[in-house]
């Protein structure tokens, strides 16, 4: 429908001039504010048929919302919670989640779309100005408040009776200390616990995956084996805390490839054991490049050279991975020859 079809009587006599602002060019100042521009009517303001079309569109959206809510309830009842469907291009997804989400989304979105369409097409769109008032109080109010405050302060005699003021400040300063004290039992004091792990002389190295004690011949050149101390079971009460410190990675190098003398001394036939916990912020290191003997922490990419005392060759870690001194016990199993000589994991103030 074009504007020609609009019945004559529906046309406005003239465009409104908001609040009498007249837009004539100011001869003196061409940059002066010409005032609010006249309101331009929308088609719905002047054509009742267009307005009715908008009304129907809004009603349709609200009706769609109702249908979608019914759809939500039907989906909830009818679709089994373990059914999956293939939706291109997402793939196999939960049918229930898909149906509930789409119906809920439609129900909500249509309410919103209806309300916005209603506001934009049928509610008045005349822009009107509202006056602003300064946030600051007028001078006399300001003076009054200051005078009142001085009066109140004077009557309290706080400034004159210093003993009251000082003891009150003292009491108010001290009383929160009780609250601080109550926080003390949030945890034990660190003590030296960060310096010790479950490893000790004679503890066998147990393969993390097979749960079997390791023999030197189980560790091949080029492989990466994760180990835990003998006796630490997944079901143990403190498994998480202990494995967070004791996790070990074991690789076998050709003894001739080991550049660091201490590393060679602490190895057994080229088998070296290093802490798996990154010295940066404690992620478990898990990527091993067998040609270069580098290990990489997947969290922040600190890279350590296992053939050179596990020193840091790249990334944000600050020091080498601690090495565990290992040997073989009388039955031929790999065993620790003591605990780590330095704390494992991230550095801390008391580490030294």
Please, which of residues 331-350 interact with other proteins by CB under 8 A? 345-350
- The nearest distance, CB 12 to other proteins, in angstroms, is 19
Stretch of residues binding other proteins (CB under 8 A), selected from 4-12, 242-250, 254-262, 265-273: 242-250
Task: Spell out the residues 6+ positions from residue 328 whose beta carbon is closer than 8 angstroms to its own.
Answer: 216, 268, 334, 335
CA-atom Rg of the chain in angstroms: 39
Q: Which of 138, 179, 256, 352 binds other proteins (CB under 8 A)?
A: 352
Tell me, by CB under 8 A, how many residues bind other proteins: 104
Please, which of residues 45-104 interact with other proteins by CB under 8 A? 76, 81-82, 87, 90, 93-94, 96-102, 104
Does 127 contact other proteins by CB under 8 A?
Answer: yes
The four Cα atoms 23, 27, 31, 34 give a dihedral, to 10 degrees, of: -10
Q: Which of 11, 145, 169, 287 binds other proteins (CB under 8 A)?
A: 287
Q: Which two tokens stand for residue 294?
A: 């580098």
Stretch of residues binding other proteins (CB under 8 A), selected from 19-27, 139-147, 211-219, 328-336: 19-27
Q: Which of 216, 270, 284, 327 binds other proteins (CB under 8 A)?
A: 284
Q: Which of 53, 57, 85, 226 binds other proteins (CB under 8 A)?
A: 226
Please report how many Cα atoms fall inside a 13 Å half-sphere around the Cα of residue 324, on the Cβ side.
Answer: 35
Stretch of residues binding other proteins (CB under 8 A), selected from 150-158, 169-177, 226-234, 263-271: 226-234
Stretch of residues binding other proteins (CB under 8 A), selected from 40-48, 157-165, 258-266, 297-305: 297-305
What's the rounded Cα separation, in Å, for the pair 266 and 33? 85
Q: Which of 204, 252, 276, 293 binds other proteins (CB under 8 A)?
A: 276
Q: Which of 183, 256, 291, 330 binds other proteins (CB under 8 A)?
A: 183
What is residue 275's three-state secondary structure?
strand
- The nearest distance, CB 169 to other proteins, in angstroms, is 27
Task: Spell out the residues 6+ positions from residue 288 whose beta carbon is closer than 8 angstroms to its own.
Answer: 224, 249, 251, 294, 295, 306
- The nearest distance, CB 157 to other proteins, in angstroms, is 33
Please, which of residues 309-328 interact with other proteins by CB under 8 A? 312, 314-319
Whether 342 contacts 324, CB under 8 Å: no
What's the rounded Cα separation, in Å, for the pair 255 and 268? 9
Does 125 contact other proteins by CB under 8 A?
Answer: yes
Measured at the CA of 324, the angle between CA 323 and CA 327, to 5 degrees, comes to 135
- The nearest distance, CB 177 to other proteins, in angstroms, is 16
Specify the residue, 337 or 347, whose C-beta has the smaller distance to other proteins.
Answer: 347
Q: Which two tokens stand for residue 134?
A: 């300064």
CA-closest candidate to residue 239, choices 215, 213, 206? 206
Does 111 contact other proteins by CB under 8 A?
Answer: yes
Omega before 89 within 30 of 0, i.e. cis:
yes
> What is the biggest distance separating any 2 CA atoms in the chain, rounded to whole angstroms?
110
- The nearest distance, CB 158 to other proteins, in angstroms, is 28
């Amino acid at each position: 429908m074009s504007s020609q079809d609009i019945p004559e009587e529906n046309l406005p006599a003239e465009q409104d001039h908001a609040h009498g602002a007249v837009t004539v060019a100011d001869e003196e100042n061409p940059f002066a504010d010409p005032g609010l521009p006249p309101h331009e009517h929308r088609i719905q303001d002047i054509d009742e048929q267009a307005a009715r079309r908008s009304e129907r569109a809004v009603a349709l959206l609200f009706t769609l919302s109702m249908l979608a809510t019914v759809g939500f309830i039907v989906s909830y009842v009818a679709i089994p919670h373990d059914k999956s469907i293939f939706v291109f291009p997402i793939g196999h997804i939960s049918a229930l989640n898909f149906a509930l989400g789409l119906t809920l989304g439609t129900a909500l979105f249509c309410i919103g779309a209806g309300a916005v369409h209603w506001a934009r097409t049928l509610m008045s769109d005349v822009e009107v100005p509202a006056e602003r008032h300064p946030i600051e109080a007028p001078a006399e109010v300001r003076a009054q408040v200051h005078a009142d405050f001085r009066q109140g302060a004077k009557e309290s005699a706080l400034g004159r009776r210093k003993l009251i003021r000082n003891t009150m400040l003292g009491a108010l300063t001290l009383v929160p200390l009780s609250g601080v004290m109550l926080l003390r039992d949030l945890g034990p004091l660190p003590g030296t616990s960060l310096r010790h792990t479950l490893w000790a002389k004679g503890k066998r190295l147990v393969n993390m995956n097979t749960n079997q004690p390791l023999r030197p011949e189980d560790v091949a050149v080029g492989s990466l084996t994760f180990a835990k101390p003998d006796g630490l079971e997944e079901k143990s009460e403190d498994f998480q805390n202990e494995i967070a410190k004791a996790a070990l990675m074991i690789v076998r190098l050709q003894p001739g490839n080991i550049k660091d003398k201490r590393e060679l001394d602490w190895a057994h036939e080229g088998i070296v054991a290093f802490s798996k916990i990154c010295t940066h912020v404690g992620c478990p290191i898990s990527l091993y490049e067998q040609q270069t003997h580098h290990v990489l922490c997947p969290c922040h990419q600190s890279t350590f050279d296992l053939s050179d005392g596990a020193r840091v060759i790249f990334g944000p870690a600050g020091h080498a991975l601690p090495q565990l001194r290992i040997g073989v016990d009388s039955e031929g199993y790999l065993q620790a020859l003591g605990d780590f000589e330095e704390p494992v994991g991230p550095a801390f103030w008391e580490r030294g």
